[in-house]
């Protein structure tokens, strides 16, 4: 993140604070969010998309990481918010987030979630199944409301990312297929329901994507459908959402696109396609999660044990075990994700050795950083920082092995503020009512 530097002793500092002070005050493992960095990424997205097509909207995808403080930052910076569950909606509402700037997602929203969204006055609901269209229409009718909806389409592109986080190929659960005619059916169903108002179409092709080609194909397919809707139903849909999924750099090998480039590319293709079909340009929105939250945060761990394991060819690997692992970062185990790390509590002139940072959980797949060079003198008591953990770290945390979930601290201009406290054994025991 932008605000990270080292002092003369090699101690990492962020937002004007040393990681040693943070570890002492808040314990480890600890998610350290550079609030200025988070806010500036949010603003950069808002400004970049606000500058194209007469002003596109940015919905921060709360699944990346949501807390009351984060919802307030997002509101402050003028973004909208994508929530995908009753729980995320509850956090947003507790933060006082303006409901009309919230969109609700999910492929299997419960009746209770839909009812709550309607009653809260959520700005739009992205529908994902025929059952949901019926349920939502009935709930809105019963309340004398008209619900604004987008239809999630499945555009049939193979996004270049891990299979589990690609969401636009045919054989997966999200969206109505354009190719099979299902999306056209969903459009008819929504247009027929007098308690629903069709705002537009939605596509999210997947996550951690660097190549803009997938977004371009998605935009083309969705706009072609939009032109068909105009021809068949005589309605021009006023909005279009192209989802999130913009990749970030987890290691020096990764080269993400800046938001201004993404916005310009999308705007160009949309303007071009709309001109071709004679369509009015719809109001664009996007839903970045990772690219706002991810780079703003690093996880601070304390090293507990170090082992050297011989490898073939006379080499060895240093296994550096830290006090967290797959409960605060499941991404390495789940997606074979790459991370980097650095010794954070001191400088060292020792030779670099091939190391693997592992956690404290009862699985050999409990790996945080697969391969990194760390100084030969790495030892118990050292602090290690793993950057880029602001998205899908704390939000996917578990308490496997009954390890309490890590705390989140926001640092800004020399102040540290706990925004999510560490889970305690008492918190966990409170759920055990047996
Ligand atoms: N919009 C929709 C409809 C989504 O499903 C998602 C992510 C986003 C936006 C935000 O995507 P982002 O910009 O953060 O890539 N847990 C995985 C990623 C799964 C994301 C699911 N949906 C991970 O750790 O990589």
Residue 207: CB within 6 Å of ligand 1?
yes
Site of tokens 């984060």: 70
Tell the residue nearest (CA) to atom 9 of ligand 1. Answer: 244
Least Cα distance to 200 among 265, 269, 281, 84 occurs for 281
Secondary structure percentages of the chain, helix, strand, coil, to 5? 35, 25, 40
Please give the distance, rounded to the nearest whole angstrom, from the Cα atom of residue 172 to the centre of ligand 1.
15
ipTM entry: 0.99
Confirm or reject: Cβ of 250 under 6 Å from ligand 1: no
Q: How confident is the model at residue 79 (pLDDT cuts 50, 70, 90)?
A: very high
The domain made up of 36-294 has a fold known as: TIM Barrel (3.20.20)
Name the nearest CA neighbour of 179 among 153, 151, 217, 199.
153
Q: Looking at residues 345-364, what average pLDDT do you find?
A: 97
The pLDDT score that the predictor gives to residue 164 is: 66
Q: What is the pLDDT of residue 36?
A: 97
For ligand 1, pick from 289, 335, 339 the residue to mutate: most ligand atoms within 8 Å of CB.
289
More confident of the two residues 432 and 168 = 432
Nearest-atom index, ligand 1, CA of 395: 16
**pLDDT for the residue numbered 168:** 79
For residue 166, the model assigns a pLDDT of 72
Residue 165 CA, closest ligand 1 atom number = 19
The chain-wide mean pLDDT, for the chain, equals 96
Closest ligand 1 atom, residue 167 Cα: 5
pLDDT of residue 157: 85
pLDDT at 212: 85
State the pLDDT at residue 167.
74
Angle, helices 259-277 vs 35-50, to 10°: value is: 20
327 Cβ closer than 6 Å to some ligand 1 atom: no
pTM: 0.97
Identify the bridge partners of residue 151 per DSSP, sorted by sequence position. Answer: 127, 201
DSSP H or E stretch at residue 218: helix 213-233
Binding residues for pyridoxal 5'-phosphate: 245, 287-290, 392
Contacts 24+ apart (CB under 8 A), 229-236: 229/184, 229/187, 230/277, 230/279, 232/184, 233/187, 233/188, 233/191, 235/191, 235/198, 236/279, 236/280, 236/282
Hey, is 72 helix, strand or coil? helix
**Looking at residue 2, what is its pLDDT?**
58
| Residue 61 beta carbon below 6 angstroms from any ligand 1 atom | yes
Which atom from ligand 1 is nearest to the alpha carbon of 243? Answer: 1
pLDDT of residue 165: 67
392 CA closest ligand 1 atom index: 24
Q: Which residue out of 42, 49, 59, 61 has the highest number of ligand 1 atoms within 8 Å of its CB and is therefore the one to mutate?
A: 61
Q: 256 in ligand 1 pocket by Cβ < 6 Å?
A: no
Q: Please compute the mean of the pLDDT values over residues 371-397 and round it to a whole number.
A: 98
Task: Read off the pLDDT of each residue in 374-379 and give the average, rounded to a whole number.
Answer: 98
Q: What percent of the chain has pLDDT above 90?
A: 92
Closest C-alpha to ligand 1, atom 19: 165
pLDDT of residue 213: 87
Rounded to the nearest angstrom, the distance between the alpha carbon of 237 and the centre of ligand 1 is: 25
pLDDT band at residue 383 using 50, 70 and 90 as cut-offs? very high
pLDDT of 3 higher than 90: no
User: CA–CA separation, 286 vs 218, rounded Å?
Assistant: 13
Q: Which of 58, 126, 245 to mutate to test the pocket of ligand 1 (most atoms within 8 A of CB)?
A: 245
pLDDT in tens, 257-294: 999 999 999 999 999 999 999 999 999 999 999 999 99
Annotated binding site: 245, 287-290, 331, 335, 363, 392
Q: What CATH number matches the domain at 4-33+295-431, 3.90.1640.10, 3.40.50.1100, 2.40.37.10, 2.60.120.620? A: 2.40.37.10
Reported as a pLDDT band with limits 50, 70 and 90, residue 133 is very high
CATH 3.20.20.10 spans which residues of the chain?
Answer: 36-294
- pLDDT tens digits, 27-76: 999 999 999 999 999 999 999 999 999 999 999 999 999 999 999 999 99
With beta carbons less than 8 A apart as the criterion, state whether 168 and 215 touch. no
394 CB within 6 A, ligand 1: no
Residue 1 pLDDT > 90? no
Is the CB of 152 inside a 6 Å radius of any atom of ligand 1?
no
Catalytic residues: 362
Looking at residues 162-187, what average pLDDT do you find? Answer: 88
**Tens-digit pLDDT profile for residues 292-321:** 999 999 999 999 999 999 999 988 999 999
Assess whether the C-beta atom of 64 lies below 6 angstroms from ligand 1.
Answer: yes
Mean pLDDT (whole number) for 368-375: 98
209-256 pLDDT tens trace? 988 888 999 999 999 999 999 999 999 999 999 999 999 999 889 999
pLDDT value at residue 135: 98
């Amino acid at each position: 993140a932008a605000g990270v530097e080292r002092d003369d002793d090699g101690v990492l500092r962020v937002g004007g604070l040393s990681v040693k002070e943070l570890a002492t005050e808040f314990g480890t493992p600890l998610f350290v969010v550079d609030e200025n960095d988070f806010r500036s990424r949010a603003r950069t997205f808002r400004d970049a998309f606000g500058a194209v097509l007469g002003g596109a909207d940015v919905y921060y995808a709360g699944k990346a990481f949501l807390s009351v403080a984060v919802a307030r930052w997002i509101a402050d910076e003028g973004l909208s918010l994508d929530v995908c569950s009753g729980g995320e909606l509850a956090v947003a509402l507790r933060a006082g987030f303006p409901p009309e700037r919230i969109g609700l997602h999910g492929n299997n929203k419960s009746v209770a979630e839909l009812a709550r969204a309607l009653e809260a006055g959520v700005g739009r609901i992205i529908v994902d199944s025929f059952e949901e269209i019926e349920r939502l229409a009935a709930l809105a009718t019963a309340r004398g409301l008209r619900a604004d909806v987008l239809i999630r389409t499945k555009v049939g592109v193979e996004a270049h990312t891990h299979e589990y986080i690609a969401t636009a190929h045919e054989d997966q659960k999200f969206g109505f297929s354009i190719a099979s005619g299902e999306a056209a059916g969903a459009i008819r169903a929504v247009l027929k329901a007098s308690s629903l108002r069709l705002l537009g179409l939605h596509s999210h092709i997947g996550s951690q994507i660097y190549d803009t080609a997938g977004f371009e194909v998605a935009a083309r397919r969705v706009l072609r459908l939009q032109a068909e809707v105009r021809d068949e139903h005589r309605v021009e849909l006023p909005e279009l959402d192209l989802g999130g999924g913009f990749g970030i750099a987890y290691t020096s090998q990764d080269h993400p696109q800046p938001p201004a480039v993404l916005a310009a590319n999308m705007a160009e293709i949309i303007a071009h396609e709309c001109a071709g079909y004679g369509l009015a340009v719809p109001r664009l929105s996007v839903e970045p999660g990772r690219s706002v939250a991810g780079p703003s945060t690093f996880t601070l761990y304390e090293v507990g044990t170090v082992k050297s394991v011989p490898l073939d060819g006379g080499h060895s690997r240093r296994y550096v075990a830290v006090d967290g692992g797959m409960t605060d970062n499941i991404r390495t185990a789940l997606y074979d994700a790459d991370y980097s790390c650095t010794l954070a509590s001191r400088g060292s002139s020792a030779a670099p050795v091939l190391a693997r940072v592992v956690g404290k959980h009862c699985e050999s797949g409990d790996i945080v950083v697969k391969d990194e060079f760390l100084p030969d003198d790495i030892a118990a008591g050292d602090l290690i920082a793993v950057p880029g953990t602001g998205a899908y770290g704390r939000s996917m945390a578990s308490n496997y092995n009954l390890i309490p979930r890590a705390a989140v601290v926001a640092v800004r201009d020399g102040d540290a503020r706990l925004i999510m406290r560490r889970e305690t054994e008492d918190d966990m025991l409170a759920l055990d009512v047996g």
